[in-house]
Amino acid sequence: MKSVKVITEGALLLTIYIVLLLAFLYIPVIYVIAAMFLVLPFLLYSAKHPLKYSFVFFVTSILISALLGTVLSIPATFIFGTTGMVMGYCVQMKKSKATIFVASSLTFLIDLVLGYVIAARFFHFNILQQMVKYLRTSFEQTAEILKAIGQEQNNQALERLNEIITIIQTLFPALLVIMSFMFVWLFIVINFPIAKRLRVQVPKWQPFHKLQLPKSLLWYYLITMLLTFFIHPKTGSFLAAALLNLSSLLQILMLLQGFSLIAYFGNIKKWPKSLFILIICVAFLFPPSMFIILMLGIMDVGMDIRKKLMGK
């Protein structure tokens, strides 16, 4: 009876996955919505059954995806399948939501990097080069339109375009990391409530105001800043790109810590949630304020300001 239940449930979830995958591949209007649910069948199956059954479910989904005959079917199934399996396995092991988020994000990131390398190495398709090519083509088309109506594009605009392209090429690794964490966060927000309704015991998020990054991150941040300040690596070199990507990611983490500190203070003072949302909106609309929040985050990681607030 147990084997029949495992097979029946696997067949049902596999059917649901194939329907979602077909919508993702062939229906442009809803492909973004369908993509948000592609991890759900793997999450549900892996959360309920042993890992060996989840692996069989995953391999079967790969084989059926191959029969669909599209270029994106197999890589999409691999990426969403492995991410969903990690989510489900962590849920089954009763891991915290933060652990699930980090483990799933790293899995998604590794899949993206592997896909990028395989596409560039074996299929001669480099998505970064395609992005740069698209930007240059768009700029040239805009320049032709302006020329047709009697306006010339100045050299300053061309220099600015080259700067944007350089930044995109340099920060591409950091952008992949940010994109991976953002996508997985959306997967969790959208799919965990559905899994809960289907009697899967998913964990809850820890309140944002309790976010506390490890102190070691502060040392990484300071070392990165000192290396950037004293070494002055050549623009475009591997070291310059590595330091810029690392500092960008660490700054984002420190900003999160700064916003968490503000939320912690607001929780103590019983601020309405609307006030905290207003502070976030003002910070993004007025970029100089981000420096203050960054400093708050750095001080909170280094000096644990929360304990002092509680002491008072």
pLDDT tier at 129, thresholds 50, 70, 90: confident
Within this chain, do residues 41 and 106 fall inside the same structural domain, yes or no? Answer: yes
Q: Are 98 and 50 in contact (CB under 8 A)?
A: no
Claim to verify: residue 223 and residue 279 sit in the same structural domain:
yes
> Is 57 in the same domain as 189?
yes
Using an 8 Å Cβ cutoff, are 273 and 242 in contact? Answer: no
Residues with Cβ within 8 Å of 168's Cβ and at least 6 positions away in sequence, in order, are 128, 131, 132, 135, 175
What range defines the domain where residue 287 resides?
Answer: 207-311
Per the domain annotation, does 284 fall within a domain?
Answer: yes
8 and 114 both lie in a single domain? yes
Residue 101 pLDDT exceeds 70 = yes
pLDDT computed for residue 156 by the predictor: 66
Out of 131-135, 238-242, 259-263, 307-311, the most confident range is: 259-263
- What's the longest Cα–Cα distance across the chain? 78
252 and 191 within one domain? no
Residue 190 and residue 261 in one domain: no
The answer to whether residue 212 is domain-embedded is: yes
Report pTM. Answer: 0.81
Residues 232 and 256 in one domain: yes
**Count of domains observed in the chain:** 2
- Whether residue 242 is contained in a domain is answered as yes
pLDDT class for 311, splitting at 50, 70, 90?
A: low
Under a CB-based contact definition with an 8 Å cutoff, are residues 76 and 24 in contact? yes
Tell me the average pLDDT of the chain.
Answer: 85
Residue 11: per-residue pLDDT: 92
Instruction: Using DSSP, state whether 251 is helix, strand or coil.
Output: helix
How large is the average pLDDT for residues 51-71?
89
Lowest-confidence pick of 73-82, 132-141, 208-217:
132-141
Residue 27 falls inside a structural domain: yes
Q: Are residues 186 and 253 in the same domain?
A: no
**pLDDT for the residue 30:** 87
The answer to whether residues 53 and 189 belong to one domain is yes
pLDDT single digits (tens) 161-203: 777 777 777 788 888 888 999 999 999 999 999 999 998 999 8
- Are 56 and 101 in the same domain? yes
How do residues 281-309 score in pLDDT, each as one tens digit?
888 888 888 899 999 989 988 887 777 76
